[in-house]
Structure 1
Amino acid sequence: MPSLEKSIKGNNSTNDSITAGSTKSDIQAKDEDSITVDEEQAISINEKEEPYTVFSKSKLIQLLIITSMTGMLSPLTGSIYFPSVNQIEADLGITTEQVNLTITVYMVLQATSPTFWGTLADNWGRRPVLLLTMVIYCGACIGLALSPNYAALMVFRMIQAFGSSSVIAISAGILSDIVQSKKRGSFYGFYSLGQSLGPVLGPVIGGIISEKLGWRWIFWILLILGCTIFICVGLFVPETLRSLVGNGSGYANPTPTQWLARRRGLLDEDQIAAKKTASNPRPKMNFLAPFSYFAEPDVFLILWLNGLVFTVFYCFMTSTTKQYSIHYPYLSELEIGICFLSMGVGTISGSFLKGRLLDYDYRSVSKEFKRDFPDKPDSEFPIFVARLRSLWINLILMEVATLIYGWMFIINAPLPVALVLQFLFAISASGIMTSSQTLLVDLFPGKGASITASNNLMRCLLGAMATAYIGPGIAGVGMGWMFTILGLILVANNVCLFILIKRGPQWRMNRTQRQNGSLAKSRSLFRCI
């Protein structure tokens, strides 16, 4: 792995426009897209009297729990549907292919819809968009539970995907607003639990509900969950978009408590007015912004690395039910559903441990950077090294588990062997996804919703391909060779890590220079006018 010194060597002259001594007014004058993690640090250093966020530790924990629960909704809704396929076929008189089409459509809309909602959330604010999407989601759940035919099922499933898909991007945007980089690893480690646990717990919960109550009750239960989240967001999640409320001390899109406090004259109106005046003007909405991130080479490599890991994760998930029923015929449907918990435990462990490790790596690299390069500005902080230097451990463990996994079915290995390999894959894959998400938000603070929408787009499109092709692939080449091929693809994908650490800092600085050049031209034009 490249050393810290090599990773920042030769960067003295490429980023002079942003230094640790930048003032808050200099930084706020920039377009939100040009704000970097280093400017975020500079604000904190130079503005000791104004903390990064006004929320207490207990409030931050509350917001973390709500956003994690909210972020789990979309993937949970997608996978909870799987065990009820046979019941839906019989009840509505349709074919397996027709039911699978509703699953494919859901994943496609789950991939594309956040590009719309994320852009709105980065402009209007997190709170109103999140509440609006939950209303849409709850309405779709009612329609699905009462669907009389296949056409209604398809339409309401599309609407449900359109509503639920936004929660991942918006929840990630909320965390990017309230958590600094040095603590972001632990927060995103916990937050990633929801995204990763949704696909794992969905089949377990769905199997129990469909077996005991019937498939329609799946959507009544989801309606209850959606209403619960709506109430929690409505009552306890304030607006966090920094262009609207700064560090949380501003006033916009209020909660009922905030609204009542202002009506009673308990809020400082002068401070609210000052904060509103000091806030950056909201940029024009660009619904193509999430797609524009793909043009950045460092971002594309992060998305690709993370997307392929998610694809193989889904290959494990979607092949489990059929392969376990074939190779372990003594298992009931409910017992097969319980087997998914091995990946669930691995996902929880991986996200939690990686979040702690990310914070440790950040502190360690920061200490080395200040010791070895005391004169360098914070803008040259090696964020790629801080977030990626320990990722090789996850990659190796994940690849070994994938390469071995398929052959265990060929040799008729005992069930615990397969479960252990699934656990090892999940604990390593969830760590990679946590690292990728954290690094993306570090590179684009203030744009957490949009960049997460891009991440979701890549993940879900590749995941949809995995769902469509893993079955025919296993039928064609067998379980052993199918997962060997997937493992070799992951091995080849390792090159992304080394390219990111070597070339990522330069690409990042090139992007900052382009943004600063565009800003300078805009200022010159403004002066002429």
Structure 2
Amino acid sequence: MQYSDATDEQGAVTSAPKQPKPALVRSRTKASDVLSITPTLVAEPCYDVEHAPVDNDPRAWSNARKTFTLILISVASMIATICSTIQNPVAEQIEADLSATGSQFSLDISTFILIQGLVPLIWNTIYEMKGSKFVYVFSLVLFTIANIFLALSRHFGAVIGLRGLQAAGSSAVMAIGPASIADIFELEERGQKMGIYNVALLLGPALGPIFGGSLASIWNWRAIFWFLTLVLGMMLLAFAFFFRDTFRRERSLTFQNMLKQRIKNLLQTPSPKWKSSIPDDGPEYKSGTIVDIEKTFATQASPQSGDPSHPCSSQIRLVTTNAILLKPLLLVVQRKANLLVLLSSGLFFAYGFLIHYATARTLSESFNYDPIKIGLVITLSYGTGCVLGGILGGRLSDRELRRLTLVNGGQSYPEMRLKSTIICACLFPMIVVGFGWLSQKSAHISVIVVKLFLGGFLNNWLFSIIMAYIIDANPGRSSTAAVAASAFRGVLAFTAAETAVPLQDNLGNGWLFTIWSGILSLAGVCTLIVWLKGAQWRGQYESPAAKENEIGITLPSTPKTGSTFA
């Protein structure tokens, strides 16, 4: 039995039995609802931010519920990426019907990619405040509305604007999806699940021309957007009625840091109600106090107090805005390991977008294939390679992570996963340069199909493992890391799309893919550097972060890494 000293209403010091309370809290008696003078610590098991206790833990859901959630997010992401290429086969129809030019149509495609990559920075803000279900449902509403008006458009200027809205609506599930997957799956199985999800991202652009060409050949280009409206309507109903929110604010470092900031403000600027009950030895009190977070808020910072001039009411709004919009993103990007893998993942994704566009032009000009046939060739070769590469690469990285964890005495770190990328990172540039020169010489279609398959296999192998690493290396900031990756993908894919046609027309496929072979070699080198130095770099950043907790608030740490909620 534990005892704590407390002061009763007459000022006498009494000693009363006390039941164990949550870890690192301050004891109270019924006679006093103020912070006691002498803290009592009760030891409880430590946990990391990703395993903080929550209600309805997504990681405790049934396998059927987890699989359904993964499939729903993946299908929605695939629809989003299909939109990037679905109207490419009907470019001539749209230009003739709406009196548009080829340059305007190219602007439409590039703008779509750029917006789809950058708008998730805003979606992440909403995600941290409202959760994943709200973001998915709201974005799908925008996505659906954009397609309805696109089907009714009479001017190409309106098409460009509405395609921007379409890109904004479609971007949420692409960017927040990896964070939702991290919410429901443990690190040891995350690679395989991320591989399945990434198949949707890279397969969608290959399926787009098939759907677009088929619908336009039967009806016209407007049927494309009516088709998307129908499909998105069904997805909207599925998310609204069957999807469970995966976000838990207790596992968000953004929320934890705002919580610490609020308590710091409460300690430094107590309200008049506090001043009458807090001892005068303020410095000693502030430096040694361990605060019961939940009860402190319940009794002193609750809205029912009716005190609009509460010392923290206005400050917390400002901290919330700053922390969600800017600070978490900077904390992710400023880390050297994160910056290198964000760059490499963006380059691998940009190549996946480029290969669809450049191959479609090659098959059309050199082999006289129609849009449907082009889509089938790319899907059956590059798309199949993406599926196998994503699933097998993710599974192997999970197995390698478990093996190295056992070798390391049960302790794991995210860089263990990257060992599975080294061989593929060396082979990939050679496959790319070979494809370029063979396609320029109009080699037999079977040779091109084999090269496309190998390229898709290696690209998604690398991309899936790196995306899993990005999530693993940023616990508590998985959504911020995911939207940072989305921003890199958008900017680099936009650049690849804008430069593909000039390079292909002036240099040919041989030199175009030789240049990209060098770029992908750079991406492989970045990945290798992170594999070798990433753990050391992360340790340098995590140590200063731990010191930020020294504000009179002690938070639990993980036995695996020793890092706290910072």
Q: TM-score range by the shorter chain?
A: 0.7 to 0.9
Q: Which residue of 2 aligns with 1:332?
A: 370
Instruction: Tell me the C-alpha RMSD between the 2 structures.
Output: 2.6
Alignment match, 1:301: 340
Question: By how many angstroms is 1:431 displaced?
Answer: 1.1
**Structure 2 Cα separation of the partners of residues 432 and 175 of structure 1:** 18
Instruction: Report what 2:153 is aligned to.
Output: 147
- Residue matched to 1:284: 320
Deviations 1:443-502 (A, max 9, x none): 123332221111011011111111111111122222212211211222233321221122
Contact 1:177–1:240 (8 Å) recurs in 2: yes
Question: Which runs of structure 2 are paired with 1:329-478 in the superposition (5 Å)?
Answer: 329=368, 331-341=369-379, 342-370=381-409, 378=411, 381-384=412-415, 386-478=416-508
The structure 2 residue matched to 1:91, chosen from 97, 100, 117, is 97
2:48 is the alignment partner of 1:39: yes
Report the TM-score when normalising by structure 1: 0.79
Aligned residue identity for 1:53: R
The answer for the alignment partner of 1:314 in structure 2 is: 353
How do 1:244-263 residues align onto structure 2 when only pairs under 5 Å count? none
Q: Report deviation, 1:230.
A: 0.9
Contact 1:176 1:446 in 2 (8 A): no
Structure 1 residue 166 displacement after superposition: 1.0
The structure number with the bigger radius of gyration is: 2
CA spacing shift, 1:443–1:245, aligned 2, 3 Å: closer
TM-aligned CA distance change 1:522 to 1:215, over 3 Å: farther
1:504 is aligned to 2:519:
no
Q: 1:101 is matched by which residue type in structure 2?
A: L
What corresponds to 2:78 in structure 1?
72
Aligned-partner Cα distance in 2 for 1:301–1:210: 42
Which of 53, 61, 64 is equivalent to 2:59? 53
Note the C-alpha offset of 1:397.
Answer: 2.9
Q: CA deviation at 1:51?
A: 7.1
Amino acid of the residue matched to residue 507 of structure 1? Answer: W
**Paired AA for residue 237 in structure 2:** I
- Give, in whole Å, the separation in 2 of the partners of 1:92 and 1:359: 50
Given the two structures, how large is their TM-score scaled by the length of structure 2?
Answer: 0.74
On the 8 A contact 1:190/1:352 being kept in 2, the answer is yes
The amino acid across from 1:39 in the alignment is D
Q: 1:402 to 1:293 in 2, by over 3 A?
A: same
Q: Distance in 2 between matches of 1:364 and 1:458?
A: 32
Moved more, 161-170 or 49-58: 49-58
**Tell me, what secondary structure is at the counterpart of 1:390?**
helix
Deviations 1:110-136 (A, max 9, x none): 111001002211222111111111111
Q: 1:176, 1:445 within 8 Å by CA — same for their partners in 2?
A: no
Q: What's the CA shift for 1:50?
A: 10
Count of residues in Structure 1 that have an aligned counterpart in Structure 2 = 447
Which runs of structure 2 are paired with 1:256-275 in the superposition (5 Å)?
none
Could you say which residue in structure 1 is the equivalent of 2:170?
Answer: 164
Secondary structure at the counterpart of residue 553 of structure 2: helix
How far is the alpha carbon of 1:40 from its aligned partner? 5.6
The CA deviation string for residues 344-386 of structure 1, in whole angstroms up to 9 with x for no partner, is 111111111112112111111111111xxx7xxx4xx3320x2
Residues 336 and 24 (structure 1 numbering): CA distance in 2 closer, same or farther, change over 3 Å?
Answer: farther
Q: What's the CA shift string for 1:7-53, capped at 9, x where partnerless?
A: xxxxxxxxxxxxxxxx9957xxxxxxxxxxx9368x49xx8x99772
Q: Does the CA-based 8 Å contact 1:397-1:425 persist in structure 2? A: no
| Contact kept in structure 1, 2:49 and 2:476, CA below 8 Å | no
Contact 2:112 2:163 in 1 (8 A): yes
Structure 2 Cα separation of the partners of residues 24 and 203 of structure 1? 57
Q: Which runs of 4+ in 1 moved over 3 A?
A: 23-26, 49-52, 289-292, 521-524
Q: Separation in 2 of the partners of 1:518 and 1:228?
A: 46
- The answer (yes or no) to whether the contact 1:362–1:387 under 8 Å persists in 2 is yes
What amino acid does structure 1 have at the position aligned with 2:177?
Answer: S
Is the counterpart of residue 230 in structure 1 residue 236 in structure 2? Answer: yes
State the distance in 1 between where 2:58 and 2:350 align: 36
Give structure 2 stretches of 5+ with no counterpart.
1-20, 25-46, 253-293, 299-315, 555-566
- Asked if 1:195 is matched to 2:201, the reply is yes
Structure 1 distance, partners of 2:446, 2:74, is: 30
284-293 vs 190-199, which moves further: 284-293
**Matches of 1:411 and 1:147 in 2, distance apart?**
42
Pairing 1:520–2:550 present: yes
Deviation at 1:393, TM superposition (A): 2.3
- The answer (yes or no) to whether the contact 1:70–1:171 under 8 Å persists in 2 is no
Q: Report the CA distance shift for 1:315/1:53 in structure 2 as closer, same or farther (over 3 A).
A: closer
Q: 1:126 touches 1:173 (CA, 8 Å); kept in 2?
A: no
Q: Which residue of 2 aligns with 1:103?
A: 109
Aligned identity (percent) is 26
Bigger RCO (CA 8 Å, 6+ sep): 1
Please say if residues 393 and 420 of structure 2, whose CA atoms lie closer than 8 Å, have aligned partners that are also in contact: no
Greater helix share, 1 or 2? 1
Distance change (3 Å), C-alpha of 1:142 and 1:50: closer
Q: In the aligned structure 1, how far is the partner of 2:211 from the partner of 2:417?
A: 34
Single out whichever of 416-425 and 167-176 deviates more from structure 2: 167-176
Give me the whole-angstrom Cα distance separating, in 1, the residues matched to 2:225 and 2:56. 46
Q: Distance in 1 between matches of 2:391 and 2:109?
A: 30
| In structure 2, C-alpha distance between the alignment counterparts of 1:297 and 1:501, rounded to whole Å | 12
Q: Name the CA shift for 1:244/1:492 in 2 (closer, same or farther; >3 Å).
A: closer
- CA–CA distance in 1 between the matches of 2:77 and 2:375? 22
Q: Secondary structure at the match of 2:333?
A: helix
Instruction: Supply the distance in 1 between the matched residues of 2:334 and 2:364 (Cα, whole angstroms).
Output: 44
Judging changes above 3 Å, is the alpha-carbon distance between structure 1 residues 291 and 426 closer, same or farther for their aligned structure 2 residues? farther
Report the CA distance between 1:244 and its aligned residue: 6.2
Q: Secondary structure at the match of 1:241?
A: coil
